[in-house]
Amino acid sequence: MTARSTSRPVGTVTRGTTNPNRLRRMDRWIAAVHGPALRRAADPLAVDLGYGAAPWTAVELLQRLRTAAPGVRVTGIEIDPERVAAARPYAREGLSFRHGGFEIPLPGRPLLIRAANVLRQYEEGEVAGVWERLCGRLAPDGLLVEGTCDEIGRRHVWIALGPEGPRSVTFATRLGSLDRPSDLAERLPKALIHRNVPGEPVHAFLRDFDRAWASAAPYAAYGARQRWVRAVRELAADWPVLDRAGRWRQGEVTVGWGALGPRG
């Protein structure tokens, strides 16, 4: 993880798997939650870090962020120079592509860095160092969003971090594909996926979420969305749920990092 030369990008090449609309849940959450900060900025810059073998996620990030902040710019950063060359024909006003890695080789400090499906291939012990490096590149009111999803974006878990470090964890799903909330465990980011064991907070949270989901079974008659909302409302009695019903109806719930972060 340590760069021997500042001229070389920091990190390793990912598998590059990507599909259109794969990151739609994360993008819409970012636009809703971070949109006000992007709108306030004179020249808001967002980074799609490790966009993969095709540039679709960067193209879509620009489109979705501009619904919240019309002046936003997006730069896609990839450590594989061949992927950068392949993406450049898609560049246009507000969208560019650049060779680089965790060092974020840009002159300014971005208001957003999105790193989706990037850190799963790293060791858990490497995550904190990567977070620190990326958060150190953020603008003072910037946001790092790092997480993992399945191949078509039905299930997604991400961590939001500010310059000071991790703030929250968001669980998001297509409700019709869900048997129980703990199905999302397979998409936990690297910082949490190995902590889904008894004695760790994230394991206790998913256990309690499953119990609340079971308790809310009578609401299934009104649809999976109403059952999810009822389960989250019950869960919020014991866990620091940070969002409200408007986000829950999207198949989301956001919980404070302090309650879910690893112990020891």
Question: At residue 4, does pLDDT exceed 50?
Answer: no
Question: At residue 16, does pLDDT exceed 80?
Answer: no
Per-residue pLDDT of 30-59, as tens digits, reads 999 999 999 999 999 999 999 999 999 999
Question: At residue 7, does pLDDT exceed 90?
Answer: no
Q: What percent of the chain has pLDDT over 70?
A: 97
Max alpha carbon distance in the chain (Å)?
Answer: 60
Question: At residue 12, does pLDDT exceed 70?
Answer: yes
Q: The whole model's pTM is what? A: 0.95
**DSSP one-letter string for 189-240:** -HHHHTT-STTSHHHHHHHHHHHHHHHTGGGGGG-HHHHHHHHHHHHTTTS-
* Ordered alpha helix ranges (H), the chain: 24-40, 56-66, 81-87, 124-135, 190-193, 201-215, 224-235, 245-248, 257-260
Which domains, from first to last, does the chain contain?
A: 1-173 (3.40.50.150), 195-254 (no CATH)
Q: Mean pLDDT over residues 168-187, rounded?
A: 96
Q: Mean pLDDT over residues 192-211, rounded?
A: 98
**pLDDT reported for residue 208:** 98
**DSSP one-letter string for 157-173:** EEEEEETTEEEEEEEEE
| Average pLDDT over all residues of the chain | 95
Per-residue pLDDT of 70-92, as tens digits, reads 999 999 999 999 999 999 999 99
Of 165, 146, 164, nearest to 30 by C-alpha is 146
**pLDDT reported for residue 19:** 85
Q: How far, rounded to the nearest angstrom, does the alpha carbon of residue 35 sit from its chain's CA centroid? A: 15
Q: Mean pLDDT over residues 172-177, rounded?
A: 94
**pLDDT reported for residue 8:** 86
Question: At residue 1, does pLDDT exceed 70?
Answer: no
In contact, 61 and 87? CB cutoff 8 Å = no
Per-residue pLDDT of 143-160, as tens digits, reads 999 999 999 999 999 999
Q: Mean pLDDT over residues 148-174, rounded?
A: 97
- Residue 129 corresponds to which tokens in the numbers above? 């160092």
